[in-house]
A and B are shown apart, each in its own frame.
Chain A
Amino acid sequence: MSNLLIYPIIVPLLTAMVLVFVRDRIKLQQWLTVLSLLITIGISLYNIYYVSTEHILVLELGGWSAPYGIVLVGDMMSLILVTVACFVSLMCLLYGFQSIEMGHKKHFIYPMILILVTGVNGSFLTGDIFNLFVFFEVMLIASYVLIALGGKKIQLRESIKYVLINVVSSTLFVIATAYLYAATGTLNMAHLSQRIAEVGQDGLLTAISFLYLIVFGLKSGLLLFYWLPGSYSAPSPPVAALFAALLTKVGVYTVIRTFTLMFYHQPEITHTVILWMAAITMILGALGAVSHWEIKKILAYNVIISVGFILFGLAVGTEQSLSGSFYYLIHDMLSKALIFITGGAIINIFGTDKLKEFSGLILFRPLLGWLFFIGVLALAGVPPLSGFVGKVKILQGALSAGELAVSIIGLLTSLMVLYSVLKIFIHSFWGETLMSEGQEYSTGKSALLPGTILVASLFALGIGAEWVNPYIAQATEVMVNPSLYIEAVLTKISP
């Protein structure tokens, strides 16, 4: 039964291996990629159904029982994130099938994207902190290749910085894990949580938790985001969309997981630090988004703002704000994919990403204009789109916990988000048309199908919040009450 948990990891991985052998048959590669992602989504949906009716899924790899071997744990949060991640990757691929250059397609871009998905799914599912490091590396190595693929000057330059900063943070990850193992004698996350609760979270363990916070902050763009705008604007638009929707979100997930499952005993120290890191992240991200005049940079800074907002909900730490954070995390993966895909289409049409050279696209691409506009509204959190529900929940939780100052910062930054993306909309869609006849019908069609599907899913998530809510509540239950997770992993459940 619980063997189904491993499929979101091995299906993309095995498909990627097969794809390497059919290098020249692009159509076959595309079909196989879509097929493997659809299979993964189907299995994950079944897993969600199973967890919602039965119990948390646990798979002990190799038959080694829980604290000794590596386990995969599928609770509601992990499984929903796996499903959304695969769905978003599928959308980015649908966009990429037409807009990725032929040279990239022949140089293993599809296998690399599938390996990236493998790493992302593995990071969501694993229940072992060192295994998390390994899946992080799987994901990061794929992303190094994807950023550098094509070998343009800007790509090489940015990929070097991206790789360097990530190698340093990965080494810090190993150091933090070494300390944690020396202090507690275990690597299994449920067992760690149990042991930390037994001995109490003293100064040493809190210091280790801060080391983890630095590592995950570097990966997710929480305060330590200075590498992010440069490297997210280097790769081609489909890859940038994939990065924006998935990579930082894995970092956010790990912060939420570590600070709700393991290091939750001293919130007055750890969560206060996260709170102010999130606040500064939102402010700096908003300033960056407002001050730039290139689409890619503006959108990359928007990624940073939303990371701050999600972790603000974690730092407040009430049940309501946590469920809001999780809801907003799902919303953010979908809406970032939408805005990066439509933004990428605009860049492709104009052939540049400088706002001041854009004008009057609405006459020729009305549907694209509307999709982008709905993406703008979704980012700002306008009802009935899904961002609204998440923002309301986070802010309600924060206000009831008395975090007035940071709530105001959160609201102000969402206004600045609205301004920064509306700036793109106004400059590119309004005004007089500067395009010549040849340019008008050149590109941009490939974004319409995935854009429409993503817009539909954003509406569904916003209007259907009532139906989604039981699943979100079940995911939040585990965050608020870690003993559910610990019991599921450490006590034997007969299959």
Chain B
Amino acid sequence: METLIIILSGILFTIATYLILNKNFLRIVLGLTLFSHATHMMLMAINGLKRGGAPLLGERTDVYTDPIPQALILTSIVISFALTALLLVLGYRTYIELGTDNMKKLRGESHE
């Protein structure tokens, strides 16, 4: 199961890299979202999928699942969610002000 998830996150990384290298702003944002999804899946998979019971004292099993990767993913998801929102707002405002979402046209001119 771990191998499958790792391959899946590898595919997601590929797609994300392709999208990030695009010139269209929205595609870059989508690429970044996929990038963080792939990261989270990889984080979960390389630290082992469900290996035992829930890590609670009342569960009374001998083997517990490591809760730390899940805690890390939760933190990281919240941050990437906030960043995506911020990026979309910034991108929208830029589109209104500068009239383009093409990164090649956002290089800047010297007379500003």
Residues of A participating in the B interface, judged by any CB pair closer than 8 Å: 130, 133-134, 137, 141, 144, 148, 151, 153-154, 156-161, 163-164, 167-168, 170-171, 174-175, 177-179, 181-182, 187, 230
A174 touching B108, Cβ below 8 Å: no
Tell me, in angstroms, the Cα distance from A158 to B112 when the chains sit together: 12
A153 touching B72, Cβ below 8 Å: no
Shortest distance between the CB of A283 and any CB in chain B (Å): 24
Closest A-chain residue to B82, C-beta based? A141
Partner of B97, one of A133, A153, A161, A181: A153
Closest A-chain residue to B101, C-beta based? A160
Instruction: Using known A-B contacts A168-B20, A171-B36, determine if residue A154 contacts B93 with beta carbons closer than 8 Å.
Output: no
Residue B61 interfacial (CB < 8 Å):
no
Tell me, in angstroms, the Cα distance from A364 to B91 when the chains sit together: 43
Question: What residues of chain B lie closer than 8 Å to A158, measured between beta carbons?
Answer: 108
Binding site of B, secondary structure by majority: helix, strand, loop or mixed? helix
Known: A163-B83, A167-B87, A175-B42. 11 other contacts (CB 8 A): A137-B79, A141-B86, A153-B98, A156-B94, A171-B35, A174-B36, A174-B40, A174-B43, A177-B72, A178-B46, A182-B46
Question: What residues of chain B lie closer than 8 Å to A167, measured between beta carbons?
Answer: 32, 80, 83, 87
Question: What residues of chain A lie closer than 8 Å to B98, measured between beta carbons?
Answer: 153, 156-157
Residue B14 interfacial (CB < 8 Å):
no
Tell me, in angstroms, the Cα distance from A160 to B82 when the chains sit together: 15
Which residues of chain B in 91-112 are interfacial with respect to chain A, using CB atoms and an 8 Å cutoff? 91, 93-94, 97-98, 106, 108, 112
What are the nearest 5 A-B pairs in CB distance? A178-B43, A156-B94, A182-B46, A157-B106, A154-B112
A-B contact pairs, 8 of them (CB 8 A): A133-B76, A144-B90, A156-B94, A156-B98, A163-B86, A163-B90, A167-B83, A181-B68
Instruction: Using known A-B contacts A171-B36, A174-B39, determine if residue A187 contacts B86 with beta carbons closer than 8 Å.
Output: no
Instruction: Using known A-B contacts A130-B75, A156-B93, A168-B32, determine if residue A175 contacts B82 with beta carbons closer than 8 Å.
Output: no
